[in-house]
Amino acid sequence: MSKPKHIHILGICGTFMGGIAAIAKQSGYRVTGCDANVYPPMSTQLEAQGIELIEGFGVEQLDLKPDVFVIGNVVSRGNPLMEEILNRNLPYASGPQWLADTLLRDKWVLGVAGTHGKTTTSGMLAWILEHAGLNPGFLIGGVPQNFGISARITDSAFFVIEADEYDTAFFDKRSKFVHYHPRTAVLNNLEFDHADIFPDLGAIETQFHHLVRTVPGTGLVVCNGREESLARVIQRGCWTPVEKFGSDDGWNIDANEQVSLNGKVQGKLQWDLMGEHNRMNALAALAAARHAGVPVAQGLAALSEFKNVKRRMEVRGTVNGITVYDDFAHHPTAIDTTVAGLRRKVGKARILAVLEPRSNTMKLGVMKDALPGSLKDADLTFCYAGNLGWDARGALAPLGDKAVVKDDLNELIEAIAVKAKSGDHILVMSNGGFGGIHEKLLKRLS
């Protein structure tokens, strides 16, 4: 019996690279990996799957002699291990390239791209295919609660992937999604984001245009019909049939949750997810699943049993009549739709929005002027300004005394606790761990 091929992953503890590690292991590869910060939950998840982890990027890892080094986009020039791989001319590939060439080669890939909703929509799509008995593989940037894992490979023809527009690696500045060659491509929405790597919206539109160029003529592009940016992307050239959603000449949904296609009612969406953004995500998932052969009625039945991805309006606890939620929202548009969704659910009850601007785009302050408007539906806003390079107090000044800004996390928690009263809903929004604020807040409130 030949020994299993061996890959060594640099930067293994990110969600995406950790997902690649998991499905490589499931596919019979020997998988080892290293990262600067090897700690839970990703380290525990990987070690449970028999993946050997090494702390740091020491050159002694070359002694592992893998068949190929798979490079995550946290690795840059000057990294000691990477420098030695280059000096010795050893074989290496980016994560997306290796994944596409080795594991996705013969798959019907369903790629979900967009500024917002990629993780949720990928989760919905994978669940619809699963519910229909198609047993899809998937790689998603969060943990869909219907599955309890973020990545798996199966012998099914279908593979759902969260198709990210972030760049691939230090040696490949194209968006990750150009590697996946989807047969079904979802373009969920497109706004300016990732200000650390894209100069403007036009630069991101160009990458989406490159994605569209890779979809075969027998494939399908599922496209948000409400976005001018995506209309421009399609106008630049598309060689594939396009189905729009959120518009009358395609997939739509009315106030009674009736789903229609080209004006003909297909059935009713019955679920407990909040917000217009999730209704749009559902339309995109239904359209993509239909392309893979799942009838709309079956897709709707699956969505009635869909449990959202962790950290999407997740209730973390209720103390003395005060409910604390955790949400991943960090871009002003996502903050706006998240707060609006909660407002529809709780009616006139008070919403206390708690915000940590920590994505690269938010840290650069590119979106700061849009923040007050995105928080308009909240009764009070609390912002953590530790490590910010811009003036959060000035940015949130239009909210007047409805905004509280603190540079110290404990002071922020105290300020929230002083203002909170029974019946309030505290919505915590961050794309990171936010210093464990949810548990600390629940403890303080009790």
Q: Any alpha helices (H) in 265-370, and if so which ranges?
A: 276-291, 296-303, 332-346, 360-363
Average of per-residue pLDDT values in the chain: 91
Specify the DSSP element, H or E, that contains 180: none
Q: Where are the domains of the chain?
A: 6-94, 104-303, 314-445
In the predicted model, residues of the chain with pLDDT beneath 50 are none
pLDDT at 69: 98
- According to DSSP, the β-strands at 151-152 and 137-139 are antiparallel
Q: How far apart are CA 69 and CA 81, in angstroms?
A: 10
314-445 folds as Protein-Tyrosine Phosphatase; Chain A (3.90.190)
Q: What is the model's pLDDT at position 147? A: 87
Question: Tell me, what's the pLDDT at 195?
Answer: 67
Whole-number pLDDT of residue 141? 83
What does the pLDDT read at residue 399?
94
What is the pLDDT at residue 361? Answer: 67
What superfamily in CATH does domain 104-303 come from?
Mur-like, catalytic domain (3.40.1190.10)
The class that CATH gives domain 6-94 is alpha beta
User: Would you say 85 and 69 are in contact if contact means Cβ atoms under 8 Å apart?
Assistant: yes
Q: Is 381 exposed, middle or buried (0-12, 13-18, 19+ CB in 10 A)?
A: buried
| Residue 416 to residues 20, 187, 441, Cα–Cα distance (Å) | 40, 38, 8
Half-sphere exposure of 59 (CA within 13 A, CB side): 10
Please give the Cα distance from 408 to 167 (Å, whole number).
33
Separation of alpha carbons 35 and 56, rounded Å: 5
Q: What is the pLDDT of residue 300?
A: 97
With a CB cutoff of 8 Å and minimum separation 6, the contacts of 372 are: 395, 396, 397, 398, 399, 403
β-pair type (52-55, 30-35): parallel
Cα–Cα dist 373/376, whole Å: 5
Query: What DSSP character marks residue 4?
Result: P
DSSP 10-31: ETTTSHHHHHHHHHHHHTT-EE
Distance CA 318, CA 321 (A): 6
Tokens, residue 204: 């991101």
